[in-house]
Amino acid sequence: MYAIIETGGKQYKVVSGQEVEIEKLDAAPGADVLFESVLAVIKEDGASYGTPYVKGASVSAEVVSDGKAKKVLVFKQLPRKSSRKSRGHRQPFTRIKIKEIRSGGQ
């Protein structure tokens, strides 16, 4: 059984026991979080799809840690000029461990 959740403007496929890196959450490590914006729940005997969310479905998880992703380099150079710009960015993330997937009443 797996679910597709939406958080931070992105969608993630999650399975119980899996660790996932998602967009940064304002939660301390060790805290429990509940995702109620579940787009789909797929089980062995069928699937439930939401419009846009599945009613009554939720995914509970525990915050494992916070961190930053690898650096993304942005390099700009104008042709035939000695103009160069190099910048970097490290996107913050939160690593969570999925505890339980509750399917809705559909």
40-68 confidence digits (pLDDT tens): 999 999 998 988 999 999 999 999 999 99
Flag whether 43 is in a domain: yes
Flag whether 78 is in a domain: no
pLDDT (tens digit, 9 = 90+) per residue, 81-97? 888 899 999 999 999 99
Flag whether 76 is in a domain: no
Flag whether 82 is in a domain: no
Domain count, the chain: 1
Flag whether 25 is in a domain: yes
Domain encompassing residue 34: 2-67+93-102
Flag whether 81 is in a domain: no
Q: What is the value of pTM for the model shown?
A: 0.81
Q: Hunting for tokens 């509970």 — which residue is that?
A: 60
Flag whether 45 is in a domain: yes
pLDDT (tens digit, 9 = 90+) per residue, 14-23? 999 999 999 9
Nearest to 75 by CA among 83, 61, 85: 85
